[in-house]
Chains A and B, each alone.
Chain A
């Protein structure tokens, strides 16, 4: 498989204190794989090692079974789309896209044909003679993508390509990028610090923190069953509660948070006596006004609303459960939620299935 990427024990030491890796992961042919993490987590370093702009201290990178490390950046068959687009300001859109083809000594008719195809593909057929400075951010981004795609690389690398666009355009380009990648079946490695972007685009995500992989999984796995408190906290918003096991009886385990909230979960293997971290996603709470809570399920308790952030589609509440346990709660905005204002008492419930115990 020409587009299959394998990273084995990749390590980059900048100084004894600052080290990335060892990292190991595999990206399948045609897969959209994201490296997600906060700045300084090593995601860009990893990308630059694959592209050949950093020399790894240890480990190897294989593309389609061939070792890439040691090869200079211009002999890697890897396309890189930059955060700043890095278009050549002295060349027209046409010449920017033709740059790589000319280096490969392609004939004039072939260049015209392939650049034309690319301009169609990224929906910019009329802008061939413009200079980059005459294009909008979104158009520049598309030229940058076309410039890499025209060379038909086995692997496409993206270094936070959407972070310089405004929100609306970013979401639109996200769809376009995804469509394009699916249509062409190209393997893609995408670096971002934006969790929504990673969740929306990726087949699989590797979450990085301080030079280490915290978890690799599908967006669903990463969100629903994070492997660590870091992942849970980084992806989406979350309530992370320290809790100790009160007892196990029958099929249930009862836990009490450090602020005295008692929660019941289906029985979990040997956690007796231990302190654990619980993850409760804000949107998984069910909310009812006092007295109307009969129909909502288990783990029911009272809470007082401290403040309400109006987000349009959603309302984000900060509440105090049982007058001492702070919680984040997110609910859909609807007619019924108008009564929820600071100071009001509400009833919350959470399904035992929606309470996750984090091992780390």
Chain B
């Protein structure tokens, strides 16, 4: 923004939160990074002796599969949210303010309920004696279908949880596109679909990217949902970290998992932001 010079008192404004982040995010993270290169000990949190074994271990098939599964499920959740959320976001952005407010309220309402309770709701619906199976039984299906503890269940639960993170940024992006652009494209001979592909989609892409990044990050680090809806079969990295600490009492092992997860996600986010920033910023003609 032109002339958007910050107030000379800016440290006062960002200082408190900066201190909070430093104390409760940066320092613990540094601690975790240190732990990840320390030696595992069955009796202490770690032995302060540098080693690479915690990282070398991650190349084992078990961990590689775990990471690939986490990545694959997160991508599927992101795609699911985009497919379900984009049209919804478009319709909400183009509706009257009353409909928009109502839609937003309904959309955000699930966020007001804790994840554990929402997941419990899914258990009631998908369990072997749950609503779906009872319904199937009424239709004459004898054997109950296993719905819980499948990848599908994890994806379903995560999509439901992360959908608002997709819809909100896309909606904001679409709202910023004047309706007259749609009409101009139609007037120049574009069918609705052509108009959409050539104007709305490219112009709302930054919103779609932010939404995808949010959904993807939340899914990658999800813990409760995969733990309760995926169980042992569909384990994701978050649950593994939890068990390394509480069951195996392997703090350095958990730390190395954490660092790999965080660094790869940061790299991905940076890449996506850089790519869209380049697209969105027109080249200066001189």
Q: In the bound complex, do residue B183 and residue A151 qualify as a contact, i.e. CB atoms below 8 Å apart?
A: no
Is there a chain A Cβ closer than 8 Å to B194's Cβ? yes
Q: In the bound complex, do residue A133 and residue B188 qualify as a contact, i.e. CB atoms below 8 Å apart?
A: no
Q: In the bound complex, do residue A90 and residue B203 qualify as a contact, i.e. CB atoms below 8 Å apart?
A: yes
Within 8 A of B (CB), among A82-115: 82, 84, 86-90, 99-100, 103-104
Q: A147 CA to B190 CA in the complex, in Å? A: 13
Q: Which residues of B contact A87 (CB under 8 A)?
A: 184
Q: Which residue of A lies closest to B199 (CB)?
A: A88
Q: A153 CA to B285 CA in the complex, in Å? A: 31
Is there a chain A Cβ closer than 8 Å to B69's Cβ? no
Q: A103 CA to B189 CA in the complex, in Å? A: 7
Is there a chain B Cβ closer than 8 Å to A58's Cβ? no
> Are A99 and B178 CB-contacts (below 8 A) given A72-B191, A73-B183, A151-B189?
no
Q: Which residue of B lies closest to A99 (CB)?
A: B188
Q: In the bound complex, do residue A53 and residue B183 qualify as a contact, i.e. CB atoms below 8 Å apart?
A: yes
Q: A129 CA to B282 CA in the complex, in Å? A: 10
Determine which of A51, A100, A133 lies in contact with B189 in the assembled complex, contact meaning CB atoms within 8 Å: A100
Is there a chain A Cβ closer than 8 Å to B186's Cβ? yes
Q: In the bound complex, do residue B183 and residue A86 qualify as a contact, i.e. CB atoms below 8 Å apart?
A: yes
Most central of A82, A86, A151 by chain B CB within 10 Å: A86
Determine which of B188, B194, B203, B284 lies in contact with A89 in the assembled complex, contact meaning CB atoms within 8 Å: B203
Q: In the bound complex, do residue A99 and residue B185 qualify as a contact, i.e. CB atoms below 8 Å apart?
A: yes
Tell me how many residue pairs across A and B have CB atoms closer than 8 Å.
69
Is there a chain A Cβ closer than 8 Å to B181's Cβ? yes
Q: In the bound complex, do residue B282 and residue A133 qualify as a contact, i.e. CB atoms below 8 Å apart?
A: yes
Q: A134 CA to B282 CA in the complex, in Å? A: 9
Q: Which residues of A contact B178 (CB under 8 A)?
A: 84, 86
**What string of 1s and 0s marks CB contacts (under 8 Å) between A72-84 and chain B?**
1111001110101
Q: A217 CA to B71 CA in the complex, in Å? A: 71
Query: How far in angstroms is the closest Cβ of chain B from A94?
Result: 11
Q: Which residue of B lies closest to A75 (CB)?
A: B189
Within 8 A of A (CB), among B260-284: 282, 284
Query: How far in angstroms is the closest Cβ of chain A from B82?
Result: 20
Q: Which residues of B contact A90 (CB under 8 A)?
A: 202-203, 282
Q: In the bound complex, do residue A86 and residue B180 qualify as a contact, i.e. CB atoms below 8 Å apart?
A: yes
Q: In the bound complex, do residue A82 and residue B189 qualify as a contact, i.e. CB atoms below 8 Å apart?
A: no
Q: A130 CA to B203 CA in the complex, in Å? A: 17
Q: Which residues of A contact B191 (CB under 8 A)?
A: 72, 74
Q: In the bound complex, do residue A103 and residue B190 qualify as a contact, i.e. CB atoms below 8 Å apart?
A: yes
Determine which of A53, A134, A147 lies in contact with B188 in the assembled complex, contact meaning CB atoms within 8 Å: A147
Within 8 A of A (CB), among B159-216: 178, 180-181, 183-191, 194-195, 198-199, 202-203
Q: A79 CA to B183 CA in the complex, in Å? A: 11
Q: In the bound complex, do residue B203 and residue A74 qualify as a contact, i.e. CB atoms below 8 Å apart?
A: no
Q: Which residues of A contact B285 (CB under 8 A)?
A: 129-131, 134
Query: How far in angstroms is the closest Cβ of chain A from B64?
Result: 40
Q: A299 CA to B62 CA in the complex, in Å? A: 107
Within 8 A of B (CB), among A12-63: 51-53
Q: A90 CA to B283 CA in the complex, in Å? A: 11
Query: How far in angstroms is the closest Cβ of chain A from B96?
Result: 14
Q: A148 CA to B199 CA in the complex, in Å? A: 17
Q: A88 CA to B187 CA in the complex, in Å? A: 13
Q: In the bound complex, do residue A88 and residue B181 qualify as a contact, i.e. CB atoms below 8 Å apart?
A: yes
Q: In the bound complex, do residue A104 and residue B189 qualify as a contact, i.e. CB atoms below 8 Å apart?
A: yes
Q: In the bound complex, do residue A82 and residue B180 qualify as a contact, i.e. CB atoms below 8 Å apart?
A: yes
Q: Which residues of A contact B186 (CB under 8 A)?
A: 52-53, 72-74
Q: Which residues of B contact A84 (CB under 8 A)?
A: 178, 180
Q: Which residue of A lies closest to B279 (CB)?
A: A90
Q: A129 CA to B178 CA in the complex, in Å? A: 23
Q: A134 CA to B184 CA in the complex, in Å? A: 20
Query: How far in angstroms is the closest Cβ of chain A from B286?
Result: 10
Q: A198 CA to B184 CA in the complex, in Å? A: 24
Query: How far in angstroms is the closest Cβ of chain A from B236?
Result: 37
Q: A79 CA to B184 CA in the complex, in Å? A: 9
Determine which of B181, B198, B282 lies in contact with A131 in the assembled complex, contact meaning CB atoms within 8 Å: B282
**What string of 1s and 0s marks CB contacts (under 8 Å) between A151-192 and chain B?**
100000000000000000000000000000000000000000
Interface residues of B (CB under 8 A from A): 178, 180-181, 183-191, 194-195, 198-199, 202-203, 282, 284-285
In the A-B complex, the 6 residue pairs with the closest CB atoms: A100-B188, A86-B184, A86-B180, A131-B282, A73-B186, A103-B189
| Pairs across A and B, CB under 8 Å, 23 listed | A51-B187, A72-B191, A73-B186, A74-B187, A74-B189, A74-B191, A74-B194, A74-B195, A75-B189, A80-B183, A80-B184, A82-B184, A86-B180, A86-B181, A86-B184, A88-B198, A88-B199, A90-B282, A103-B194, A133-B282, A134-B284, A134-B285, A151-B189
User: Given A74-B189, A74-B195, list of 18 further CB < 8 A pairs?
Assistant: A51-B187, A53-B183, A74-B194, A78-B187, A79-B187, A80-B183, A82-B184, A86-B183, A86-B184, A99-B188, A100-B188, A103-B188, A103-B190, A104-B189, A131-B285, A147-B188, A148-B187, A151-B189
